[in-house]
Amino acid sequence: MSNKQFTAKEIEDLLKGITYPGFSRDIVSFGIVKGIEAEGPQVTVSLEFSTSDETISQKVAEQVGKTLSDAGVEAVDIKVQHHNPQANAGEGEANDAPDLLPGVKHIIAVASGKGGVGKSTIAANLAIGLTKLGLKVGLMDADIYGPSVQMLLNLGDEPEPADGENKLMPIEAYGVKAMSMGVLVDADTPLVWRGPMVSSAVEQLMRDVNWGELDVLVLDMPPGTGDIQLTVSQKVKLTGAVIVTTPQELALIDARKGIGMFQKVGVPVLGLVENMSYFLAPDTGKRYEIFSSGGARKEALRQRVPFLGEIPLQLEIREGSDAGKPVAAQDSPIGELFSQLAEKVWQSVNEPKMQ
């Protein structure tokens, strides 16, 4: 056996070679490794997980043990703790983590397994629909690389500083308090950031914006199941997630991954929305199912989650989005569809038990 003695820094470098299951990021940058003690041949590694799924922690602990043993560490003690901010909702259980959104009652993540399904459009119109229920609503654009909320709500002004606080005031539009990276950087400037910087930016949008008292904060998440999704689930208590998909199987494959990701970290899935479900010809009124139809309804039944409705592929939605005049703010049949969507989402939020 090797007599080599390792420093804590050497152990950390070894652990950076272990990725979190299902993600591309390593367990050190994800904050899973909470402590390293290296004394002679004995190494102690403390791990903390933001999920109650012990299969994940067991898999990581096994990888840590094997990695260190293969490197020549003679004795490894791995301590595992579970700290899930998604657990014990409403039970008043003490939480040592700082509350990033103390005035927000409910946080809803609007997510999709892949890009291009109209997630941001759904998020913005959903937020407006929720205001029509008499709720105080915020909308935070968590899609750092591809922010859209600034355009969807026509957030033309720069945010003002909050009086007496080192924070920014959200910009109000259509009764919604909104914030997006799109109003903080030049529209033509790409953000060439690595994962940790993006995760930090999302946390800052939650912590350093004066959201005030809100009934609901809608999070427009980036597509996929990456760093930001895990960061958000680690940092705040999510009431639930709304999954947006289009009807065809190609999109549903990734929607299933999105559902599985949220379930894995203990976030209830409030339901599925089928966007671009059909097209009504303006001249004849004939219905065309361009991307097929009904796929999300069937998937919701299969996954045992609520089906929240169909949103058509309509010129009115596209024109409103491009002009910063969301259809949910307008008195029209399409606007009414988003009001119905908001009602169903709010009903799912208030269900005694959510899958």
Q: How do residues 215-242 score in pLDDT, each as one tens digit?
A: 999 999 988 877 788 888 888 889 999 9
Long-range contacts, 29-34 (Cβ 8 Å, 24+): 29/195, 29/196, 30/227, 30/230, 31/234, 32/60, 34/81
Domains annotated for the chain, with CATH where assigned, are 8-82 (3.30.300.130), 104-349 (3.40.50.300)
Q: Which residues contact 344 (CB under 8 A, 6 or more apart)?
A: 271, 306, 308, 309
Q: Tell me how crowded residue 45 is: count the other CB atoms within 10 A of its CB.
A: 27
User: Could you give the residue ranges of the DSSP H alpha helices within the chain?
Assistant: 8-15, 54-70, 119-131, 149-152, 195-207, 227-235, 249-264, 295-303, 315-322, 333-349
Paired with 75 in beta bridges are 42
How many whole angstroms separate alpha carbon 133 and alpha carbon 113? 28
For a pLDDT cut of 90, what percent of the chain falls above it?
54
Q: Which of 95, 118, 135, 112 is nearest to 350 (CA)?
A: 135
- Residue 169 gets the label, from left (phi > 0), alpha (psi -120 to 50) or beta, of beta
The pTM of the full predicted model, rounded to 2 decimals, is 0.75
**pLDDT confidence of residue 274:** 95
**pLDDT confidence of residue 53:** 64
Average pLDDT over residues 121-150: 95
